[in-house]
């Protein structure tokens, strides 16, 4: 009876609190466990303890597998996050570079616009000056033609006056040669001719003064002609400048 009670106690009772239950979990391998009770584990109590250990071991193995899976997933997500951050950083740098390039392009375009406006203003001023020079040239040519015609008329008059003076001089010389045999009337005529000769000399002086004035006017007109030729050269330079502007605009387009 004592043996049966002892056998029954060893076969049907659960492990007491004093009994030792050891569990060992390997971080790198499957979990293993063993139970050490008072009985030899051959009865029902021993069989129940082994089933509980296997259940816990299975749960631990599942937990470990889940941990490994979660660690792999975390590593994968971490790598994806790192790659995404790297892509975002590259895109940010590229965007900043594009923004810098855009600012530089806008600054260059603004500078070119200001230069183009300045060139347009200079061209407008040159065109205005060229128009004035052309108008002055036309007026100078007209005045030169009128002055040349007037000078020609005055030269004809001067030539005629000189011929008349020379004729009177010859007559005066002839009268002087004959004055010994000439009376009072001849002397009066000689005085008259002398007065006429003096008047003609005075007229000759006036004509010579007019001739010198006309010569100075011709010199002024020659300088104006040079000014007009310079204006024509300026017009040619303006055409080259406009062609260079059109070429620059086509290159920018």
The angle that helices 44-177 and 184-252 make with each other, rounded to 10 degrees, is: 170
Query: Which of 193, 187, 200 minimizes the C-alpha distance to 172?
Result: 193
* Contacts with 134 (C-beta within 8 Å, 6 or more apart), sequence order: 228, 231
pLDDT of residue 21: 37
Backbone angles phi, psi at 24, to 5 degrees: -130, 125
- The 10 Å Cβ neighbour count of residue 39 is 19
* 24/31 Cα distance (integer angstroms): 6
Q: Which helix (H) or strand (E) holds 181?
A: none
CATH number for 123-252 (one of 1.10.3470, 1.10.10, 2.60.420, 1.10.287): it is 1.10.287
In this prediction the pTM is 0.29
How does pLDDT run across 156-206, given as a tens digit for each residue?
888 888 888 888 888 887 777 776 555 566 667 778 888 888 888 888 888
Backbone angles phi, psi at 29, to 5 degrees: -145, -175
Please report, for the chain, the start and end positions of each structural domain, with discontinuous segments joined by +: 2-88, 123-252
Q: Do 25 and 61 form a contact (C-beta atoms < 8 A)?
A: no
Q: Do 158 and 236 form a contact (C-beta atoms < 8 A)?
A: no
Per-residue pLDDT of the chain (253 residues; tens, 9 = 90+): 333 333 333 333 443 433 333 334 343 344 444 434 444 444 444 455 688 888 999 999 999 999 999 999 999 999 999 999 999 999 999 999 999 999 999 999 999 889 989 888 888 898 888 898 889 889 888 888 888 888 889 888 888 888 888 888 888 877 777 765 555 666 677 788 888 888 888 888 888 888 788 888 887 777 777 766 666 666 656 666 666 667 666 665 5
* 227/233 Cα distance (integer angstroms): 10
Q: Do 40 and 46 form a contact (C-beta atoms < 8 A)?
A: yes
Distance of CA 101 to the CA centre of its chain: 14
pLDDT of residue 48: 53
DSSP of 5-24, one letter per residue?
HHHHHHHHSPPPTTSEEEEE
* 240/39 Cα distance (integer angstroms): 117
């Amino acid at each position: 009876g004592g043996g049966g009670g002892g056998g029954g106690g060893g076969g049907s009772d659960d492990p007491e609190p004093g009994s030792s239950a050891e569990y060992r979990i390997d971080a790198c391998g499957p979990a293993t466990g063993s139970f050490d009770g008072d009985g030899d584990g051959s009865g029902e109590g021993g069989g129940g303890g082994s089933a509980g250990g296997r259940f816990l071991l299975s749960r631990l193995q599942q937990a470990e597998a889940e941990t490994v899976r979660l660690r792999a997933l975390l590593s994968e997500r971490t790598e994806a996050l790192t790659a995404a951050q790297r892509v975002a950083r590259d895109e940010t740098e590229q965007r900043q570079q594009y923004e810098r390039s855009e600012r530089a392009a806008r600054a260059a375009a603004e500078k070119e616009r200001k230069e183009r406006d300045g060139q347009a203003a200079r061209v407008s001023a040159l065109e205005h000056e060229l128009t004035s020079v052309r108008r002055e040239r036309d007026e100078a040519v007209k005045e030169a033609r009128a002055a040349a015609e007037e000078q020609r008329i005055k030269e004809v008059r001067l030539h005629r006056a000189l011929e008349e003076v020379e004729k009177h001089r010859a007559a005066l010389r002839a009268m002087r040669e004959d004055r010994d045999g000439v009376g009072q009337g001849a002397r009066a005529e000689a005085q008259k001719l002398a007065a006429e000769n003096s008047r003609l000399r005075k007229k000759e002086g006036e004509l010579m003064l007019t001739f010198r004035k006309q010569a100075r006017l011709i010199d002024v007109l020659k300088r104006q002609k040079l000014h007009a030729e310079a204006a024509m050269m300026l017009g040619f330079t303006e055409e080259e400048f406009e062609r260079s502007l059109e070429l620059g605009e086509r290159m920018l387009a």
